[in-house]
């Protein structure tokens, strides 16, 4: 819930985004993303790292798993 997170932590923007597709075939894909969450003044709140798993359905690619860690 980004709106609640922004209000609770004073999160204004994120920097240092990194995206990597770590595995992919015709029916499944895995990706990881990381970023640093910052306040409006640019000070760091936390770093976040996420893992995302996708499967291809008749309607297109759908995310079926997500896990994240903040530090």
Instruction: Yes or no: say if 10 and 36 are a contact pair by the CB < 8 Å rule.
Output: no
Instruction: Yes or no: say if 49 and 69 are a contact pair by the CB < 8 Å rule.
Output: yes
Q: Would you give per-residue pLDDT tens digits along the chain (71 residues)?
A: 788 989 999 999 999 999 999 999 999 999 999 999 999 999 999 999 999 999 999 999 999 999 999 99
pLDDT digits (tens, 9 = 90+) for 56-68: 999 999 999 999 9
pTM strictly above 0.85: no
């Amino acid at each position: 819930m980004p709106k609640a997170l922004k209000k609770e932590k004073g999160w204004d923007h994120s920097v240092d985004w990194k995206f990597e597709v770590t595995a992919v075939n015709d029916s499944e894909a895995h990706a990881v993303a990381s970023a640093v969450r910052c306040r409006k003044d640019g000070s760091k709140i936390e770093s976040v790292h996420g893992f995302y798993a996708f499967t291809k359905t008749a309607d297109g690619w759908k995310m079926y798993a997500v896990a994240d860690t903040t530090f």
